[in-house]
Structure 1
Amino acid sequence: MNYPRILICVAVMALVTYLPRVLPLAIFRKKINNRFVKSFLFYVPYAVLAAMTFPDILYSTSSMVSGLAGLLTALLLAYFGKGLLTVALGATAAAFLTEQLLLLCGMLAF
């Protein structure tokens, strides 16, 4: 093993992780009053999470159709105010049932 290289990699990763957390504290000393900036900063985590997970939702199964069925089921259940567990189980069931239906119809081969 190349221990110096591993230690350098860990140090670089720590720096890259730590800098984005410390820089806002160092740059913005006073409270942000601008409504646009506050709104932007409020929604950034949700937008980043959605951008990171959306492709994985569609490609998590062997068919994009079953992933899309799970996504639409989750959106529908969440829209009607169901809880997180209900949404997750409903989306999983929809994706599983769609996958089984595709297998039964012969549209999906392993």
Structure 2
Amino acid sequence: MIPYKRRIGYKKIRKATKWGIKVFILAESSTEYIYKFEIYTGKKTVTDGEHGLSTQIVLDLIEGLEGKGHFLYTDNYYSSPTLFDLLWGKTIYCCGTVRPHRKDFPKV
């Protein structure tokens, strides 16, 4: 979240950072170089793809990196069996924390 309190049509209100603009970023881990980013502008982002918001954002950000054997690290908001299967098929290896009660997660 980028803190921001002025008028803007797609401002996001959240508890952690009460006011701001939500930005999704794909960055290189050791240098923190930003490869791609996407500003969340509302429902349009959610309905563009056949997957949920978190999966679709990742797929949009990794576009152009397929087949190169990159490693992607995510937090529990983005991690899902569906995403990991899609990335595996694109030769992108993925690792991340998970929410065990998430849809399609195997029962233990």
TM-score, with length taken from structure 1: 0.27
Structure with the higher fraction of residues in strand conformation: 2
TM-score, with length taken from structure 2: 0.27
